[in-house]
Amino acid sequence: MLAEETRNEEFADSVRDLLDVVEGELLAAAEANTALVTEAARHIISAGGKRFRPLLVVLASQFGPSAARDDVVRSALVVELTHVASLYHDDVMDDARLRRGSPSANVRWGNSVAIMVGDFLFARASDIVSELGTDFVRMQARTFARLVQGQIAESVGPQDGEDPLQHYLQVVADKTGSLIATSAVFGSKVAGADREVQDILAAFGEEIGMVFQLSDDIIDITSDETGKTPGTDLREGVPTLPILLVRQSADAGDARLLELLDSDLSDDDTLSEALALLRRHPAVERARTEVRRRAEQARALLEPLPDGPAKSALQDLCDSVVTRSS
């Protein structure tokens, strides 16, 4: 037992060490020819983040016969730079004021600079992925296409006759699940894993990516316990899982909540009332149940993979993603 604990500790240390390397390389990748662009491109990176996608790259790289350290780092850089670049564009489209607790790039430098900085980071990701080979370039391009289509679908909303909840779940799959799935495939692919293993990890990444975003939906409502500003999505009118579940309800007692959801929530008192009603609504627990269901579904996908610290770490992710929204 002690030997197993030692192996797990050594594995965790090696993962942390590799993620530290990725962190430093992210800042280096954001360096530009001018101080202004460098500062703007490092703005979100320097604010920190969960680095969920690089973590998946590193863990997935354990399921092949061997992985060159430099290729694992490159893969992690590609997926995280792609993610960060998309955040610059999202903040412009959402007219966001804050990002990770700091003024957003569009607030600090204006929309045009923020958009072009996002483009710059996409270009850096494309440059790095070319070093991995054409298969990786194709995969990143197809993932990027899904990201864009998901953003467009979110912007235009569900079409006539389309179920709003199914529309939203597809948006989440395209905007979040796709890149997390690609992260897992990149890691396993650079390690030389066979196609079956890559497919398992792709399916896991897509599902755990959904869980990750849906748990954020709940945190936006119940976030007093997590330190996040509650009601951000609610105030911006972003349709999230609990809100869509409320709108499915036929309970006459929801009239006041529905009235608030359709109103201007820029006023703090109005937002607080809406949050208070939402937190007591059964839709929040229904959303938690869906998150738990999907997390168990993700865990089940891992069953065919060989046992070891990497598989255990992926299984732990299923628990931690659920716990953060409990």
> Mean pLDDT for each consecutive 10-residue tract of the chain (326 residues)?
64 95 97 95 90 97 95 98 93 77 84 94 97 97 95 92 95 96 98 97 97 93 66 85 92 91 91 94 95 97 96 95 78
pLDDT at residue 91, rounded to an integer = 84
pLDDT at residue 230, rounded to an integer = 76
Return the axis-axis angle of helices 178-190 and 52-60, rounded to nearest 10°.
30
pLDDT at residue 238, rounded to an integer = 84
Token pair belonging to 245: 């579940």
Contacts of 309 (CB under 8 A, 6+ apart): 7, 8, 11, 12, 62
Give the residue from 237, 246, 205, 242 showing the smallest Cα distance to 223: 242
Measure Cα distances from 190 to 63, 221, 229 in Å.
10, 39, 38
Give the residue from 283, 258, 287 showing the smallest Cα distance to 273: 258
Query: What domains can be seen in the chain, in order of their start residue?
Result: 1-166 (1.10.600.10), 194-326 (1.10.600.10)
Determine the Cα–Cα distance for residues 65 and 314; give it in Å rounded to an integer. Answer: 18
Inter-residue contact 291 to 267 (CB < 8 Å): no
Measure Cα distances from 207 to 156, 202, 269, 298 in Å.
24, 9, 37, 6
Token pair belonging to 278: 């939402």
Determine the Cα–Cα distance for residues 294 and 210; give it in Å rounded to an integer. Answer: 8
Give the residue from 28, 18, 68 showing the smallest Cα distance to 191: 68
Contacts of 233 (CB under 8 A, 6+ apart): 217, 220, 240
3-class secondary-structure state, position 305:
coil
pLDDT at residue 266, rounded to an integer = 87
Quote the pTM value: 0.92
* Length in residues, the chain: 326
- List the end-to-end C-alpha distance of the chain, in Å, as a whole number: 31
Measure Cα distances from 320 to 71, 77, 141, 209, 257 in Å.
28, 24, 30, 13, 31
